[in-house]
Amino acid sequence: MEEEISRRSFLKGGVATAAGLVAAGIPGAEALADVEEKKQLATLLDIRKCIGCGACVDACSEANSDKYPNPQKPFPKMYPSRAKISDWSDKQEVSERLTPYNWLFIQHATVDINGEETEITIPRRCMHCVNPPCVKLCPWGAAKQLTNGISRIDPDICLGGSKCNKVCPWDIPQRQTGVGLYLKILPNFAGNGVMFKCDRCYERVAAGKLPACIEACPEDVQTIGPRDEIIQKAETLAKKINGYIYGATENGGTNTIYVSPVPFGELNQAIEKGKGKPHLDRVEDTMADANNLAAAMVIAPLAGLAAAAGKLYNYTKKNG
Amino acid sequence: MNRFDRTYTTAMSDRIVRYVYPVNIFFLALTGFGQMPIYKRYYMSDIPGFGWLANFFTTRYVHYLGAVLLLTLISHLIFDYFALQRKRIKVTHTGYLRGVLLAGIVLTGILFVIKNFPGFFFSSEFIITLNLCHLGLVMAFLLVSLYCLIFRKKWTSAR
């Protein structure tokens, strides 16, 4: 499958590229050169280094523009009228939030550091959860998680029902009406386009390259590598700067780990939040409740057996 | 009615099964279809008392609760059949059909539950197949159950 990194395909096509990147002094490429087939890759974002230049945003657009939607107009009329059209095709230049045409943006926060008012800039995109609700709860199988931890939405399968957006704690996937499979089924009554979000440049990673945002960053804000190593690096860095970590435990753990000199509670207060503008609040594991209940499914047959045994006992007692 | 019949038909567990089973199937179907984003779009969650249908985590939790109960009921009936009733009753054709469909639903459901744990990577093709199988089996089961309800077809008959 094209989206999965197989060790063989990686070794064939990727090592040379990765080696080239290492030779060129691009940080992180060496981490990808050692990638194992089934190891989740995580990114570490040291937000002290981010200067908000937007190079990552531009690189993301450049690398992914061929994946952006090209909707057919006029859009099919949808019934009932509650189903609203979501059209960003005339607002493709919007860069201050997530849209189907902008999968990464820079969030701004003005905070107090040691009595000095400081502006902090934070690159925001999909967190690529370890157990992503967008993927696991997609009713159609359009959202996929790759063994390297990347979650992506297949635009050829997605019907645009936006369930992934509703179950995402950060409001990441964004919808564009007028594209995708729903047009060929019941465009007036079911579906509403395709959901779009960061796929962490899965084809580039599969080819041993860095995601475009990491490669383009002039300040080396991001580092990529196996999740356990990235967590360790984040903890070491946080300890060194007396800082804070976000993303390691949120929603049961993500593959996007932020390290900040300011508590994330403060940053969350300072950033602009809303649709397409994810928060930095603590997030409980949204998948945990039902998953914990699954243990009861193992015990359920024993309960059934106990009830049947009780009935057999009563019957035997009454009938001697 | 002989002594045996009196004993098994009045057993508490049988009365529970008779009333709980259809209610459980109703909620399983309701929350199962609720895994698709349709209830809000089609105003179902606007009905007083059904607002929870618009919350995907709640419908999933209730679906899992229903699955626990269904597994308990199924295992109880299987154990009960083999321990007490095999000699006096037999499973009818429609009973076998419903049983096979239900087994398929349970099997595909178990695979969904496994998929939802962290660290389980099912291929996209397999998930789509699983979705279609689970949904198809449910639709078939509901249709057959409706047929059996209308034409009074029972799961079992006397030998």
Write the residue in B41, B79, B121 that is nearest to A145 by C-beta. B121
pLDDT in tens, chain B (159 residues): 444 454 455 556 677 778 899 999 999 999 999 999 999 999 999 999 999 999 999 999 999 999 999 999 999 888 888 888 888 888 999 999 999 999 999 999 999 999 999 989 888 899 999 999 999 999 999 999 999 999 999 888 887
**How many CB atoms within 10 Å of residue B153?**
17
Terminal C-alpha separation, chain A: 65
Task: List A residues 269-308 in contact with B (Cβ-Cβ < 8 A).
Answer: 286-287, 289-291, 293-294, 296-297, 300-305, 307-308
Give the Cα separation of A198 and A125 in Å (integer): 6
Give per-residue pLDDT as tens, A181-198: 999 999 999 999 999 999
Write the CATH number of the domain with boundaries A7-286: 3.30.70.20
Cα nearest neighbour of A82 on chain B: B41
A319 with B116: Cβ contact below 8 A? no
Query: Which residues on A lie below 8 Å from B74 (Cβ)?
Result: 301, 304
pLDDT > 70 fraction of chain A, expressed in percent and rounded:
88
A308 with B3: Cβ contact below 8 A? no
**How many CB atoms within 10 Å of residue B86?**
12
Cα nearest neighbour of B60 on chain A: A290
Which pLDDT score, from 0 to 100, does residue A9 have?
Answer: 40
Task: Considering only residues A25 and B159, tell me which one the structure prediction assigns the higher pLDDT.
Answer: B159
Give per-residue pLDDT as tens, A77-95: 998 988 889 999 999 999 9
- In angstroms, what separates the C-alpha of A46 from chain B's closest C-alpha? 26
Give the Cα separation of A259 and A237 in Å (integer): 7
pTM: 0.86
Cβ contacts from A onto B, under 8 A: 139
Residue A80 in contact with partner chain B when CB distance is under 8 A: yes
Position A311 pLDDT exceeds 80: no
Report domain extents, chain A. 7-286
Give per-residue pLDDT as tens, A152-180: 999 999 999 999 999 999 999 999 999 99
Residue A185 in contact with partner chain B when CB distance is under 8 A: no
Buried b / exposed e across B23-53, counting CB within 10 Å, b at 16+?
ebbebbbbbbbbbbbbbbbeebbeeeeeeeb
Write the residue in B56, B117, B128 that is nearest to A166 by C-beta. B56
ipTM: 0.87
Which pLDDT score, from 0 to 100, does residue A39 have?
Answer: 86
Which pLDDT score, from 0 to 100, does residue B11 have?
Answer: 59
- In angstroms, what separates the C-alpha of A34 from chain B's closest C-alpha? 21
**How many CB atoms within 10 Å of residue B90?**
14
Task: Considering only residues A314 and A42, tell me which one the structure prediction assigns the higher pLDDT.
Answer: A42
A163 with B118: Cβ contact below 8 A? no
Give per-residue pLDDT as tens, A91-131: 999 999 999 999 999 999 999 888 889 999 999 999 999 99
